[in-house]
């Protein structure tokens, strides 16, 4: 333990801030992350390397205690809108510093280690739309559409009639600009709308990196709403982060509390078993499950490196504290996914009881060029 502390202090300088000492009394990742964000400690080595040391400290402190959070977050329309605005309405220019050219803010899909982030994100979009067997003129709904990359791809490459919804005003504005610039206004649109307020019927539904904001208690509402929007023979793909522990909706060692406070207010991670159960109870037959955990570790690592390389510009756009939040968050996610602290799954499902199953007998179709 002594050598770990010496190694730790070689990366973190306390300087003239004695208040930093409080963060080393029963330290966890929330305390250490807070100390970094608030400027009480500083990183002199790689942010990726520091997480291994932070984990060692946190595990030592937690050796005699069981980690767990028993609270439920409130998920009203107002609370959800404010949480989304807090995270996503930082600055479109800020996000462009570390995302790919299409600003896809979710796990990429690497076919080889040599794939660039841009290639991997395009492959992820096509992997989702391919799994959904999206066809020309079909109606696609993308729940939590971000800056519009998936709906634009669906309309431009697959010829679908695509609708995206988001609660972020910044995302909504830029997505509209991009749709217009691509000349896709007749086939593609984005609406500033809560998923609970969507009406209509859709052949295919995607939800990418959104259901973490729904809340565990609201999963029945979420999946029942999706089923009500699916046409007979329709398919849905839910792509989202899940907890590693069935009894804990938060990342352990205090990381969950840090994320809740600084990054994703009210975010909750259901376990895969909970997700498949709630989908089944809502009348959605789960037909395919794929883990992308290693892909997300690589994606977050790439984002963290890109943000570090653009640190000065990022501070100008978002402020020093916000940049420190994202530095520790992205590097922490890269480390957490690599270590298996959380997972991410794509779950493909059909509308149960509809009488029509459009899926082939095997999943070979997902990998055809």
Q: What is the residue extent of each domain of the chain? A: 2-61, 77-367
Low-confidence stretches of the chain (pLDDT < 70) are: 1-90, 247-267, 369
DSSP code for 200: S
Strand order, beta sheet including 139-143: 188-192, 161-166, 139-143, 202-208, 230-243, 342-351, 284-291
pLDDT of residue 79: 52
* Residues assigned a catalytic role: 333
Distance of CA 159 to the CA centre of its chain: 27
Structure tokens at 102: 């299409």
CA dihedral for 180, 81, 251, 245, sign (positive or negative): negative
Distance CA 165, CA 155 (A): 15
- DSSP structure string for 33-61: HHHHHTTSS-B-S-HHHHHHHHHHHHHHH
Structure tokens at 136: 């020309």
pLDDT of residue 238: 98
pLDDT of residue 253: 44
Please write the tens of the pLDDT for every residue from 204-256. Answer: 999 999 998 898 899 999 999 999 999 999 999 999 999 888 765 555 444 55
pLDDT of residue 16: 42
Question: Is residue 84 within 8 Å of residue 265, measured between CB atoms?
Answer: no
| Domain 77-367 class, CATH top level | alpha beta
Could you give the count of Cα atoms lying within 13 Å of 93 in the half-sphere of its Cβ? 8
Question: Is residue 178 within 8 Å of residue 164, measured between CB atoms?
Answer: no
Please write the tens of the pLDDT for every residue from 18-66. Answer: 444 444 444 455 555 565 566 655 656 666 655 555 555 455 545 444 4
Beta strands at 161-166 and 139-143: parallel, antiparallel or unpaired: parallel
Q: Helices (H) and strands (E) in the chain — how many of each?
A: 14, 7
What's the length of the chain? 369
Distance CA 125, CA 101 (A): 13
Q: In 18-36, which positions are buried (b, 16+ CB within 10 angstroms) versus exposed (e)?
A: eebeebbeebbbbbbbbbb
Question: Is residue 358 within 8 Å of residue 74, measured between CB atoms?
Answer: no
């Amino acid at each position: 333990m002594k050598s770990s502390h010496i190694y730790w202090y070689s990366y973190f300088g306390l300087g003239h801030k004695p208040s930093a000492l409080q963060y080393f009394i029963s330290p966890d990742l929330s305390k250490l992350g807070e100390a970094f964000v608030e400027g009480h400690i500083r990183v002199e080595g790689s942010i990726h390397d520091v997480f291994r040391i932070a984990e060692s400290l946190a595990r030592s402190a937690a050796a005699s205690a069981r980690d767990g959070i028993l609270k439920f977050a409130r998920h009203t329309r107002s609370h959800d809108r404010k949480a989304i605005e807090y995270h996503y309405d930082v600055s479109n220019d800020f996000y462009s510093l570390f995302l790919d050219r299409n600003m896809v803010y979710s796990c990429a899909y690497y076919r080889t280690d040599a794939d660039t982030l841009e290639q991997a994100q395009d492959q992820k979009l096509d992997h989702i739309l391919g799994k959904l067997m999206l066809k020309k003129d079909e109606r696609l709904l993308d729940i939590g559409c971000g800056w519009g990359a998936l709906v634009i791809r669906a309309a431009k490459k697959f010829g679908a009639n695509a609708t995206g919804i988001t609660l972020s005003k910044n995302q909504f504005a830029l997505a509209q600009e991009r749709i217009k610039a691509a000349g896709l206004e007749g086939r593609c649109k984005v609406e500033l709308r809560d998923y609970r307020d969507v009406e209509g019927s859709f052949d295919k539904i995607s939800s990418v990196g959104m259901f973490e904001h729904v809340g565990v208690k609201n999963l029945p509402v979420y999946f029942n709403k999706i089923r009500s929007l699916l046409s007979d023979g329709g398919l849905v793909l839910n792509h989202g982060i899940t907890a590693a522990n069935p009894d804990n909706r938060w990342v352990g060692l205090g990381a969950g509390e840090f994320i809740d406070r600084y990054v994703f207010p009210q975010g909750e991670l259901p376990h895969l078993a909970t997700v498949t159960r709630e989908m089944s109870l809502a009348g959605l037959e789960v037909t395919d499950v794929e883990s992308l955990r290693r892909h997300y570790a690589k994606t977050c690592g790439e984002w963290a490196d890109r943000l570090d390389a653009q640190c000065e510009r990022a501070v100008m756009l978002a402020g020093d504290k916000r940049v420190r939040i994202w530095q520790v968050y992205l590097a922490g996610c890269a480390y957490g996914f690599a270590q298996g602290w959380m997972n991410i799954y794509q779950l493909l499902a059909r509308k149960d009881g509809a009488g029509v199953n459009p899926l082939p007998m095997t999943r070979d179709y997902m990998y055809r060029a």
